[in-house]
Structures are given as C-alpha cells and as structure tokens.
C-alpha cells in the first residue's frame, strides 16, 4: 500500500471511531462536538507559559493552535513535545464550561517522555509504568477558584475517561482511557 492509501484508511477509521464514540458519549459531551468554536486556556506551572487557544473552528481542529497547546504541554524536564489527544483537549473544554471556570487550568503535568516517566516511576509509587501521559492522553490539573473535590466530581460525572484524585498534591488526573476513578 502506498502512503496516501494508508493515510486515507487511517483518517477514515478515525472519523468512524469518532462518530461511534460520539454516539456512546453522554449528552453533555456531545454538546461540545456541536460548538462552532472550542477554546482552552492553560497555564503550565513549571514553565510559566500560558495559552488561550481556539483549537476548533470552521468545522475542524486548527493545526497551528494545536501546535501551541502541544508546546505548552511538553515535557518540561526534557523539552520533548508530543501531540496531545484532541479528545483530551475536548474533555478539558467541556470540564471548564461545566465548572464555569474563569481562570485557565493550572497544568501540573501534560506530556511525559518515557525517560521522565521512568524516573518519576522509580521515585514514586503513584506513577504508572505505562502512563497515558507518555501518549499525550493524560493531564494533571487544578482550576483556580474551584474546589478540587468539585472538579473531580464533575469530571467523574462526565464519564469520558479516567479521573484520579490527588488532594495532597492539589490536582486531579484526567485521561482518555477507559472510564474509571481512583484516589492517589
């Protein structure tokens, strides 16, 4: 198969999976998919970098805006940049709306390189060896002006991925894996 055929099949499968997933999603998440524009505001607490991006407009994801999001969510230890799952960004968009957030999400951890993840796993029992952070499918956040327990409850009620609660470290973990929750 040539590259164009492979790319076509990949996009076709993504669209099909996206359509299937949207049918299975709770109604609240389906409303995000109907928004004419989707935006997100993030503050990386390790680098001080901030972004407010309209990452979805004119019926599609905006590549330039996504690149800025990927850069802000890079592994701050190594500088490695990785694509962040658009579904994760959509989950953040919806969560911010449901929480009536006025401030950007504070990001504790976005993408983690395998090297960083291995180092963290070695030094902490709370870091998974095969963390979804290494695939750009997980983020650790807090939302100023909102209680962490409220943020966790709202994320759990959305039923769109994993939600970890880390009150001692003042963040929740969100990912696009299967629906589950835990306390750290």
- Same domain as 113, residue 166: yes
Residue 43: per-residue pLDDT: 98
Residue 74 belongs to what domain range?
35-183
Residue 119: per-residue pLDDT: 83
> Within the chain, which residues score under 50 in pLDDT?
5-6, 8, 10-25
Our count of domains for the chain comes to: 2
- Same domain as 45, residue 18: no
- Same domain as 134, residue 88: yes
- Same domain as 135, residue 59: yes
CATH of the domain at 166: 3.30.1380.10
Residue 172: per-residue pLDDT: 98
- Same domain as 53, residue 134: yes
Q: What percent of the chain has pLDDT over 90?
A: 70
Residue 34: per-residue pLDDT: 74
Strands 138-142 and 171-175, bridge-based pairing: antiparallel
Residue 3: per-residue pLDDT: 54
Strands 162-166 and 180-183, bridge-based pairing: parallel
- Same domain as 129, residue 79: yes
- Same domain as 14, residue 85: no
Mean pLDDT, rounded, of the chain:
86
| pTM (whole model) above 0.75 | yes
- Same domain as 94, residue 4: no
- Same domain as 59, residue 9: no
Residue 30 lies in a domain: no
CA atoms within 13 A on the CB side of 116: 18
- Same domain as 48, residue 7: no
């Amino acid at each position: 198969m040539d590259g164009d055929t492979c790319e076509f099949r990949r996009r076709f499968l993504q669209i099909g999976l996206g359509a299937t997933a949207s049918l299975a999603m709770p109604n609240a998440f389906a409303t995000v998919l109907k928004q004419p524009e989707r935006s997100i505001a993030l503050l990386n607490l390790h680098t001080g970098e901030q972004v407010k991006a309209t990452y979805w407009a004119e019926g599609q994801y905006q590549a330039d805006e996504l690149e800025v999001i990927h850069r802000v969510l890079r592994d701050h230890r190594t500088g490695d940049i990785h694509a962040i799952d658009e579904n994760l960004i959509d989950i953040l968009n919806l969560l911010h709306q449901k929480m009536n957030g006025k401030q950007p999400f504070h990001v504790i951890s976005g993408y983690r390189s395998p090297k960083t993840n291995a180092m963290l796993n070695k030094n902490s029992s709370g870091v998974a060896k095969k963390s979804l952070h290494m695939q750009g499918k997980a983020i650790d956040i807090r939302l100023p002006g909102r209680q962490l327990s409220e943020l966790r409850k709202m994320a759990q009620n959305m039923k769109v991925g994993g939600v970890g609660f880390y009150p001692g470290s003042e963040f929740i973990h969100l990912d696009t894996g299967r629906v589950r929750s835990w306390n750290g």
